[in-house]
Amino acid sequence: MQPNFLIFVTDQHRADHLGCYGNPVVRTPHIDALASTGWRFNRSYVANPVCMPNRGSMMTGRIPSVHGARGNGVPLPLDSVTYADVLGEFGYRTALIGKSHLQNMEDRAAVLPPEVIEPGSRTPSQFKEAIRGKGDSAPYRQELRSSWSDPAHQLTLPYYGFQDVILCNHHADECFGDYLRWLSLHHPEMIDRLGRENGVRDAGFTAPQAWRTHLSEQQYPTHYIAEKTCEWLHNHSQTNASQPFALMCSFPDPHHPWTPPGRYWDMYDPDAMPVPATAMPDVDKERHVAWLWQERASGKAQLESPRMFAATPREIQEVIALTYGMITNIDDRIGMVMKALKDSGLDRNTVVIFTSDHGDLMGDHGVMLKGPLHYQGLIRVPFIWREPDAAAQGGNVVRNDLVSTIDLAPSILRRANINPPNGVQGKALFSAAGVPQNSGRAAVLVEENQQRAYLGFETPVRMRTVVTQSHRLSVFQEGEWGELYDLVADPDETHNLWDDPSSKELRAQLMEQLVHLLMEHADSSPRPTHLA
């Protein structure tokens, strides 16, 4: 019998913000229960530490530079083959409920520097890009907020292989899509009370992007997504119980802005939140981190934008407290969904997976949010896999092999006894029988391609990172400076060994390993059809 798959995805959620990953403060009993009866991956890394490229890797099993969504602002090509496409070919019912973000969500202009045009030269209008039919054409505007302002707008199904989609895009109480239509219909009085313009800025909080939402817990996007997931499971059990399914339940939280509803707002006391040791001003900062601190000191930091910023210790405490409230809210809703799965009788043949699209610096080195600072809090994410008969297998197994976001798709397909398409670069972590398989990796590759030129760089930041069992090396396109950390002796990544004479040989070895990883992740699709 083909197994079902229930895949929980959170947004901007670092691994150590769960009880099962050793956090002694945040309460996540339902997620912890999955880990206690399944496999918890301790060394799971993103392919890219921002939303769109890593979600593309999650769906395709391919590295961002290969699947095409190399950074935020670049949609996943619609001709991509996803695990949902492949499962659908083999009779699966596939569904996505919640945040997608495989395409752009907002109409904000890109921030890339203007192109340099040779004086007197002519610019093509039909062939501005080296690849046809992508970019900002109508099929790639399906997730835009402006598109959803048209009451008749719907996604073209199947959408990246998902036959059913209930969309709740964006974050906090600023979400739109099917969610906002539901809210308009059932709670029209709330429409003019949403977002940062209408939220209550609590006098006890100084952190930017934090406000008390007017939405109740039951009106908040997290509850809506869980409720619609429960409904989908119930309907499937009543009408198509014999048909295998793959359902992604994708929460927009705990991504900023920080607006946990109701009791989750003050569930955690900021005064009780520990400040990371690396956030203290007297700790030496690498030059890109120092640039952020200098920006904040000069009053030029962009505190209300998605871009990373240096934060004060008090702001860090407040943000952590609010983030924990958002995480516990998610955990409670996962409990709802797991109950619905059991009540429907579908749990007896369902693999349950929990992961996140990337982490958050969350005060490490005094910095909030995400960007080209590949510290562990940002690039290491939770990944839990629970088999239907996990209790019989003992459960509560910690795996320390190096795994990547690109391993999710081939693991799902292999577990369904389906061979991944040619060009999938991830490793199957389980057999068709649910037996764990070691990734066999000596290292993982993390990419990043930014639109912004900042952190002291004059061009948009581009970097590549290699993580081994013991070290992390990051190389920037601009300049000869880089990062090298001993993750065993220096887990907080405070002592950069890049220019350390005694680490010269190690640096050369890791650079060679990075080159091999880049060659290994070159595209192999399509397969040659003839000799030539």
pLDDT digits (tens, 9 = 90+) for 91-109: 999 999 999 999 999 988 8
In angstroms, the CA 247 to CA 499 distance is 48
Please list, in sequence order, all residues whose beta carbon lies within 8 angstroms of the beta carbon of residue 371, skipping any fewer than 6 positions away. Answer: 49, 50, 307, 308, 450, 455, 461
DSSP, res 362: T
The pair of three-digit structure tokens given for residue 256, joined into one six-digit string: 């900023």
**Alpha helices (H) in 106-244, listed in sequence order:** 145-148, 178-186, 221-239
Burial 358-392 (b: 16+ CB within 10 A, else e): bbbbbbbbbbbbbbbbbbbbbbbbbbbbbbbebee
**Angstrom distances, CA of residue 199 to CA of 178, 191, 256, 263, 323:** 22, 12, 14, 16, 17
**E strand residue ranges, 193-314:** 245-250, 309-310
The pair of three-digit structure tokens given for residue 266, joined into one six-digit string: 């003050």
CA angle 22, 45, 59 (to 5 degrees): 120
Question: What pLDDT was estimated at residue 127?
Answer: 81
Nearest to 148 by CA among 194, 105, 97, 212: 105
Burial 202-237 (b: 16+ CB within 10 A, else e): eeebebbbbbbbbbebebbbbbbbbbbbbebbeebb
In angstroms, the CA 316 to CA 92 distance is 44
Nearest to 20 by CA among 486, 467, 385: 385
The pair of three-digit structure tokens given for residue 251, joined into one six-digit string: 């929460």
- Residues 261 and 371: beta-carbon distance below 8 Å: no
Nearest to 292 by CA among 452, 103, 83: 452
User: Strand order of the sheet with strand 482-486?
Assistant: 443-449, 462-468, 471-476, 482-486
Residue 203: pLDDT band with limits 50, 70, 90: confident
Which pTM does this prediction carry?
0.96
Q: What share of the chain is helix, strand, coil (3-state, %, to 5)?
A: 35, 15, 50
Question: What pLDDT was estimated at residue 480?
Answer: 82
In angstroms, the CA 13 to CA 323 distance is 9
Can you tell me the mean pLDDT for 186-205?
94
Kind of pairing, strands 93-98 and 397-399?
unpaired
**Angstrom distances, CA of residue 336 to CA of 228, 333, 440, 471:** 11, 5, 36, 40
Q: What percent of the chain has pLDDT over 90?
A: 88
Helices 29-36, 313-343: axis angle to 10 degrees equals: 60
> Residues 155, 161, 166, 169: what is their CA dihedral angle, to the nearest 10 degrees?
-80
Residue 392 has pLDDT above 60, yes or no: no
Question: What pLDDT was estimated at residue 376?
Answer: 98
pLDDT digits (tens, 9 = 90+) for 2-37: 999 999 999 999 999 999 999 999 999 999 999 999
Burial 300-325 (b: 16+ CB within 10 A, else e): ebeeeebbbbbbbeebbbbbbbbbbb
In angstroms, the CA 453 to CA 462 distance is 9
Can you tell me the mean pLDDT for 444-472?
95
In angstroms, the CA 35 to CA 6 distance is 15
Domains of the chain: 4-107+135-520 (3.40.720.10)
DSSP, res 212: B
pLDDT digits (tens, 9 = 90+) for 270-313: 999 999 999 987 677 899 999 999 999 999 999 998 899 999 99
pLDDT digits (tens, 9 = 90+) for 333-385: 999 999 999 999 999 999 999 999 999 999 999 999 999 999 999 999 999 99
